[in-house]
Amino acid sequence: MRLTQAEERMLNGEEGYIKKKAMTFLVRYGEAAGAERLIDLDGTADFHPGLYASWFPETAITLDEIKELAARGERFKVPTFGNKPGSPAFIVHGWEDCGVWPQNDPDCHAEYLARMKPYMQMGMIPALSCDYYLISSFLPTAGQHCAWGESSAIPWVNAILGARANYDGCFEAAYLGKIPAYDMHLDENRKPTRLVECQVELKTDMDYDLFGWAVGEKIGVEVPVITGIGKPTYSQLVKMNSTLNTGGQVRMYHVPGLTPEAPHPGEVAAMKFKEKYSIDRNDLKKVYEKINYASKRSVDFVYLGCPHYNIIEIQKVVSLLKGRKVRVPMWVMTNPWTFKMAEQMGYRDTLVQAGAALLSGTCPGMMEGCMPPADVIATDSAKQNYYITGFIDPRPLQAWYGSVEDCVEAAVTGKWEGQWS
């Protein structure tokens, strides 16, 4: 890799030990990725803050080192947002209601929160969410280079915002303001390589969740032009992005009329694609059947909020649950700022009165399977559904999947009644 003189100085340790560590990581990473150089970030960065916020535990910038930087008054080079906390994950709000130890232990929670402080002193904004981009109040603009993470966020930054990021947000990138220039940072890798025509009218949130999975599974790591998806809501786009990056690894796509780098419909008609795919209702049904991985109708735990629910999604659950009681534990997970808004609107109280819990900042997957004891769970998220059984393995876990309405009914009755319609 070609380095600038300033980068060489950091690599040689002339700017101190911590910068040397950070630059050593970026150079090793860039060389393995086949990058020719580092690029200066001019957008934003995120990472999972915790005992460390690096990709490699062995060479991570440690929390003590981060404290040292913070004490010296050092700051992140670009606006930096905390993704869901990691190493270890924890419930940011509503933990008192979660019913699971050690998450509901006040001392434990205080310790977790204290860990966020040095990051915040360096300027990290504690959005602490997988969909922090919905609430961050500051986003990169088209063409800006970023270092992000998270399944739903990577297509969001590339496709929806037209900014540029690979799946590599970390402390080192935010601190030095640099990242290897390859893949999504380069024009040639962002152009469409496949065409996906949606042949079914997508209506519900679940339709978009399933559609994203079906597309991801068909095209893998390619960059599709997607047509025929109508006018998805924000909730639907977030869901679709999360499953594009679960059924496959779609970090960039184009929707004419919706995404900033998309070709015009006329141009699409004239383009030559190596492969074309169409997705119909039967493709969605196949995903639905694959995701539904259960036979026992009794449900022990209901999880909503993957990706973290926005305020409109919370509003819907509240209206479905008002005046009713859940028979089994139900978590409604959101991001910390939406939690505050929901609390102000009385939604947290409504949910708690119904026996459910409004929580923020993590998910059972992020907590590596930490949730109320369950042999059978139900969720409206294909992503969470498909990972959670893997976290629990070798203990068997059955996982139902359906609409938010199906899930709330299951929480109230303790029985799964959802079906394909």
Catalog residues that contact another protein under the rule CB under 8 A: 28-29, 32-34, 55-58, 149-151, 166-168, 183, 216, 220-221, 245-249, 251, 290, 293, 365, 368-369, 386-391, 393-394
**Distance separating alpha carbons of residues 60 and 69, to the nearest angstrom:** 14
The residue (of 244 and 411) whose beta carbon lies closer to another protein is 244
Q: How far is the CB of 367 from another protein (least distance, A)?
A: 11
How many residues belong to the chain? Answer: 421
The first and second tokens of residue 270, run together, are 């004239």
Q: How far is the CB of 9 from another protein (least distance, A)?
A: 23
Burial of 25 (C-beta count, 10 Å sphere; 0-12/13-18/19+): buried
The residue (of 80 and 246) whose beta carbon lies closer to another protein is 246
**Distance separating alpha carbons of residues 263 and 255, to the nearest angstrom:** 8
| 205 closest CA partner among 232, 243, 227 | 232
The residue (of 247 and 418) whose beta carbon lies closer to another protein is 247
Contact yes or no for 219/277 (Cβ under 8 A): yes
The residue (of 304 and 351) whose beta carbon lies closer to another protein is 304
Which residue(s) pair with 198 in the sheet? 279
Q: How far is the CB of 368 from another protein (least distance, A)?
A: 8
Q: How far is the CB of 98 from another protein (least distance, A)?
A: 19
Q: How far is the CB of 176 from another protein (least distance, A)?
A: 17
Q: How far is the CB of 387 from another protein (least distance, A)?
A: 3
> Tokens 């200066």, residue?
40
| 219 closest CA partner among 186, 187, 252 | 252
**Distance separating alpha carbons of residues 272 and 25, to the nearest angstrom:** 40
Q: How far is the CB of 292 from another protein (least distance, A)?
A: 12
Q: How far is the CB of 206 from another protein (least distance, A)?
A: 20
The residue (of 273 and 391) whose beta carbon lies closer to another protein is 391
Contact yes or no for 153/163 (Cβ under 8 A): no
The residue (of 29 and 171) whose beta carbon lies closer to another protein is 29
The first and second tokens of residue 91, run together, are 């419930």
Q: What is the DSSP string of 114-139?
A: HHHHHHHHTT-B---STTGGGT-S--
For the beta carbon of residue 412, count every other beta carbon within 10 angstroms.
20
Q: How far is the CB of 89 from another protein (least distance, A)?
A: 12
The residue (of 183 and 209) whose beta carbon lies closer to another protein is 183
For the beta carbon of residue 331, count every other beta carbon within 10 angstroms.
26
The first and second tokens of residue 228, run together, are 């025929």
The residue (of 57 and 346) whose beta carbon lies closer to another protein is 57
For the beta carbon of residue 226, count every other beta carbon within 10 angstroms.
28
The residue (of 170 and 311) whose beta carbon lies closer to another protein is 170
Angle at 420 between CA 419 and CA 421, to 5 degrees: 110
